[in-house]
């Protein structure tokens, strides 16, 4: 606690992605020495060169901390021994059968165990099901003979990053903290309290784990509701976007959520299934959550169905003989993040039906390697020019980046808009179909 107060406690952040790098820089900016750990050599090289690969961290912010000697990155995990606090920020994806994949968490915890020493504080930030910290992380660490609460402190503090959100960054987002025992809770509260503006302690690590799942399940369920309403209202000839815009004028009892082509990002499409998986242990159904997942997962197929229908009716052309330009590969606007992006599924579905698909995204120049869409690796964003548009039968707006020239898109014979990008800009044309 004295070292935290004096800013001499050294923090080790494992996983320098969308969560870990912003946390590392925010911590270093408050005066703490920080070592970042990652198994990806290009990330280590980029940090050493002062190049940030995360939009939330500017090159200037990165260079300020590396230049001051407060932050460095390494792939040498033996240096965890030099860290007083070790923070785990690694992915927690799903398997092909939608079961939790904790392989990154367990592998990282075993790395920590190799150098674990008395006096260290270990914190898990990765989103997971209630009980992970106590039932999976702690036993691995205690295989060393050291005991949680006596020799080292263990806690959980869920990440709350929102890529692309310029109003809320790491230092201003309230931080949930919980520890195995009061000493661990107080240590986490002291450390994070020195880095962020507000700390919210809760009673147990299981509670903290449940908080993060609840936040994302809330969004997933409400998005599923509005996606289902979109399909119903469309059949009735009602514009769901106009409905939501009017409904949100009510100053109480309503919160606007918006439909789309499917869910993306690492959290909302994945986290609910962590709880449905855990619920089986208690023999309790989670029908509401699972139904929301089914609705959201079905949206890309619905959108491609609407695309095929619009091509047939408005252009007299089958999807199997059409070329489609997908606008936006990222899962949300103004970011380069393609994790779980529905755009990848849209491209796959278009090509399964015999169509040809390409994409344009000002933030994603090339499709990287992904676990689910290996066949798309290496495809590059095509330029958005009149000549390019002339070669496509339809444009499908999947992500409404601000940098897109939407007026120019109207040169296409058909535009299918899943984000109301044209309506919000006051652009109307008979070639626009909402989906």
Catalytic center residues: 267
Beta bridge partners of 35: 12, 72
Whether the CB-CB separation of 398 and 311 falls below 8 Å is answered with no
Q: Which distant-in-sequence residues (6+ apart) come within 8 Å of 54 by Cβ?
A: 17, 18, 21, 22
Q: Is residue 185 helix, strand or coil?
A: helix
Q: Is residue 156 helix, strand or coil?
A: strand
Whether the CB-CB separation of 364 and 336 falls below 8 Å is answered with yes
Q: Is residue 278 helix, strand or coil?
A: helix
What does the alpha-carbon distance between residue 8 and residue 84 come to, in Å, rounded to a whole number?
Answer: 9
Count of residues making up the chain: 435
Look up residue 281 and give its DSSP letter. G
**Furthest CA-CA distance within the chain:** 73
Q: What are phi and psi of 82, to 5 degrees?
A: -85, -5
Q: Is residue 93 helix, strand or coil?
A: coil
Cα torsion angle, 319, 326, 261, 297, sign: positive
Beta bridge partners of 243: none
Look up residue 249 and give its DSSP letter. T
Q: What is the 3-state secondary structure (H, E, C) of 304-349?
A: HHHHHHHHHHHHCCCHHHCEEEEECCCCCCCCCCCCCCHHHHHHHH
Residue 121: how many CA atoms within 13 Å on its side-chain side?
31
């Amino acid at each position: 606690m004295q070292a935290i107060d004096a800013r001499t406690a050294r923090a080790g952040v494992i996983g320098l992605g969308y969560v870990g790098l912003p946390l590392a820089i925010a911590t270093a900016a408050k005066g703490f020495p920080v070592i970042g750990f990652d198994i990806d050599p290009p990330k280590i090289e980029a940090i050493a060169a002062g190049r940030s690969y995360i939009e939330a961290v500017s090159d200037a912010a990165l260079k300020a901390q590396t230049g001051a000697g407060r932050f460095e990155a390494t792939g040498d995990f033996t240096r965890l021994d030099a860290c007083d606090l070790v923070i785990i920020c690694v992915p927690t994806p799903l398997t092909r059968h939608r079961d939790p994949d904790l392989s990154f968490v367990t592998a990282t915890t075993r790395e920590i165990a190799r150098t674990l020493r008395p006096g260290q504080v270990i914190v898990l930030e990765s989103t997971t099901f209630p009980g992970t910290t106590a039932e999976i992380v702690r036993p691995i660490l205690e295989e060393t003979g050291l005991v949680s609460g006596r020799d080292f402190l263990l806690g959980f503090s869920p990440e709350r990053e929102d890529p692309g959100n310029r109003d809320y960054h790491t230092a201003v987002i309230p931080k949930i903290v919980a520890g195995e025992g009061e000493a661990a809770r107080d240590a986490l509260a002291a450390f994070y309290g020195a880095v962020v503006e507000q700390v919210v302690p809760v009673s147990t690590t299981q509670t903290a784990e449940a908080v993060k799942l609840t936040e994302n399940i809330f969004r997933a369920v409400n998005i599923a509701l509005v996606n289902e309403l979109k399909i119903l209202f469309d059949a009735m000839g009602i514009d769901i976007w106009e409905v939501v815009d009017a409904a949100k004028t009510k100053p109480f009892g309503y919160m606007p959520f918006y439909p789309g082509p499917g869910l993306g990002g690492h959290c909302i499409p994945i986290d609910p299934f962590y709880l449905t998986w855990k619920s089986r242990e208690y023999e309790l159904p989670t029908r509401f959550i699972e139904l929301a997942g089914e609705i959201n997962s079905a949206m890309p197929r619905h959108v491609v169905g609407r695309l095929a229908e619009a091509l047939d009716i408005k252009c007299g052309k089958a999807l199997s003989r059409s070329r489609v330009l997908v606008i936006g590969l990222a899962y949300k606007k103004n970011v380069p993040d393609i994790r779980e992006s529905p755009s990848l599924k849209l491209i796959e579905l278009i090509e399964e039906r015999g169509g040809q698909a390409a994409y344009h995204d000002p933030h994603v120049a090339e499709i990287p390697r992904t676990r689910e869409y290996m066949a798309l690796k290496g495809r590059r964003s095509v330029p958005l020019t009149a000549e390019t548009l002339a070669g496509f039968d339809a444009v499908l707006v999947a992500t409404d980046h601000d940098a897109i020239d939407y007026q120019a898109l109207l040169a296409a014979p058909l535009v299918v808009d899943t984000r109301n990008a044209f309506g919000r800009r006051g652009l109307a044309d008979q070639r626009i179909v909402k989906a």
